[in-house]
Structure 1
């Protein structure tokens, strides 16, 4: 039991994420100037409250994925977590230097979905948009799952579907615009390559504990 506890001790590094998120609240407000990156294409995207469900699934999705990386593939876990932390810092610096906003629709509550959208709107100011943290972290989970040897092809497909639904939800609930999505994906591509160079020569492989459990099942 003591040995297994030590095996999962690296999961405590996940606590770096809520620690960094303190800066999100500090920066999530208007300061001069505030920019809008909305395009005609964004205006043509319909508001669809049903997408608030995948938008909110983002919270457990990221934590579950990080736990799975830690349990199954320690190298990918550290690479993903480090990329995420550096990505968050890059986002916060961008929010400070180049604050953007998104126009939100006025929602008349007619059901639980509208209520959930208004709940998100009331707890998250319409700032800190470019690049999207929702997109950055979700796309990062795709990179990790595809890279890791600890995931089956079926599991990788499930991760991709879930992540892309979350990414799309940011547009359909009018929390972000297309450039927010593109910017976040670009940041992940750069960080995944750059951080990966530090892991060069470390072959991605399932952790010994995961392999042992798979063999017993």
Structure 2
């Protein structure tokens, strides 16, 4: 909390105490007043800005006047920046023009918890590809990650269902490649099985990291989404995926 805010709150605190003392001396009831009325909108915004997002959300239901202040874009812009800091990907649905910063924050949190990958996720990112330690030695010898003699191999997914690699990729070899996303559900809309399959090779289990990046892997190889939070307009689906 900066010195100006601290001084203002201290001054107001002394003024409130003076009024309470006067009322007690006159035999009246202690003064009880809405902090928003006392501090005003601008100062209350500065107070709320020092709270975590969960605490600010609680302020939304105090009253209509509190809701107007606690839902301000001025307040939630900084909350979004804090949430997005260090994330590998920013969800497209939270960066749509016209979406309030409060909604952008909420949508980002919900999308960040999503573990169901969709075609937009695959196609929007570049993917690092490498073999695991149980892969045959022949393939590991072609992998720069194991040999330490170059940048990682990259894979690219396309909306037409195909997959490609960088020119000159020794593992790729120029063969045709297609992918599919398989999801099976059980009662209550819960996911029973979810994986990505490339050609007829082993399925790739899908997982999500804390920085919102994706990983797809099986016993022999692994795909990791390359961070691209700088992309204008974000990445991933435009609508919330459950």
Structure number with greater CO (CA < 8 Å, separation at least 6) is 1
Same fold (TM over 0.5): no
Higher helix share: 1
The alignment's TM-score, normalised by the length of structure 1, stands at: 0.22
Higher strand share: 2
The alignment's TM-score, normalised by the length of structure 2, stands at: 0.21
Larger radius of gyration: 2
